[in-house]
Amino acid sequence: MTRAYTDTDQIARDLAACFETMRAAGPASVDGSPEDIALCSIETFCAVALRVMKKTNPSKVRDCARTVEIHARLEGREVIREAA
């Protein structure tokens, strides 16, 4: 079953689990390493994006999620609808 694009609380939990998995699976990087900085940047971007999503009209969020999905499909990238 596909989750609603606008369930920001569930999206935040899913992202936290994904980041935990990435940190556990990645090389044992030390704080300040290029890998650590890159992951911190992505985590910060996602935190900002979630705050913006909470303040945005749900129909706009759904529209943007569909647009991103269409672009990914046109580029031949794998699409995981639950992540959208």
- Domain residue spans of the chain: 8-83
Which residues fall within 8 angstroms of residue 5, CB to CB, at 6 or more apart?
Answer: 58, 61, 62, 65, 84
State yes or no: pLDDT of 6 exceeds 80: no
Tokens representing residue 82 in the block: 């639950």
Q: Are residues 8 and 2 in contact, defined by beta-carbon separation less than 8 angstroms?
A: no
How far is it, in rounded angstroms, from Cα 37 to Cα 71? 28
pLDDT at residue 9, as a whole number: 84
pLDDT tens for each residue of 27-65? 666 778 888 888 889 999 999 999 998 899 888 988 998
Query: Model pTM?
Result: 0.68
